[in-house]
Amino acid sequence: MALTLDGKLVVAISSRALFDFEEENQIFEQGDDRAYMQLQRDRLDIPAKPGVAFSLVQKLLAFNETPSQRVEVVILSRNDPVSGLRVMRSAAHYALPIIRCSFTRGEAPWRYLKPLHANLFLSTHLSDVRAALAAGVPAAQVYPHSAHASDAHPSEVRIAFDGDAVLFSDEAEQVYQSGGLSAFQKHETDKVSQPLPDGPFKPLLVALHRMQQAAIPHMRIRTSLVTARSAPAHERAIRTLMDWNIEVDEAMFLGGLDKGEFLREFEPDFFFDDQTGHIESAARHVPAGHVASGVSNTPRG
């Protein structure tokens, strides 16, 4: 019988999201593929420094320190196989039990997400993220300049989500952008009893909620909704989560206040938002990823 990843939380991640390869990437961006490969070959025995998503991956893999293997992390990278050797050696250096990987030498690796049944894809390449989202996989563009996660919660994975166009659809955001705040508030009040349609990251929240309910003794998951909504529009968001039978641990309805400082206090291992302005604010304090979905990310002609 063939092996399967069914029932696991599967996280696919690019090498630059997991490790700090920004110095090497400068060579690659100059268009000198061979010089980049040679540099990686020369540094095979030098472990790469942890990258923006390192803490998230390290903590999620800690859920496997039981007889039940609940998490699978797979590296999907545009690196060539030789450079990929350094990636895998770096993972082994940090004792990350990552055994599956794909290195495509410049080709888009997102097409392998479906066979993996991935619950999340993290990459620094916006085009790969857009393609993954279009294929129905929760995906975010990692900002390499983001602050790294705090080490204050070693036994707790903390993940923060924006609401509209992330956990929920962008239905309400479309109303806001076309009609302004008053139209948005009226729309949400009128439809308060109707659950919001699913957003691209609902499947990830469902998978995390399932792990929360498993009650692993040495590791926990803590989730937070961090949204620009305010009363009375907060009620529809909460009612939607109730309808999904999903509980989040915290909910912040900030009414347009800057999210960055609130996230600094929550100390997530990762924050997901659809608006680049919010990501730039958050990235000064916490690891952050851009969910390139919804009306805010639709080119306007």
CA distances to 8, 152, 293 from 131, in Å: 23, 35, 10
Report the alpha-carbon distance of residue 42 to residue 92 in Å, rounded: 18
- Annotation marks residue 151 as catalytic: no
CA distances to 145, 244, 286 from 136, in Å: 27, 19, 26
Report the alpha-carbon distance of residue 268 to residue 270 in Å, rounded: 5
8 A C-beta contact, residue 77 and residue 15 = yes
Task: Output the CA angle 298-258-198, nearest 5 degrees.
Answer: 45
User: Would you call the peptide bond into 50 cis, given omega within 30 degrees of 0 as the criterion?
Assistant: no
> In sequence order, which ranges of the chain are alpha helices (DSSP H)?
15-18, 22-29, 33-42, 54-61, 81-93, 113-116, 126-134, 171-190, 202-213, 234-244, 260-266, 276-283
Question: Which one is catalytic: 128, 162, 170, 273?
Answer: 162
Catalytic residues: 162
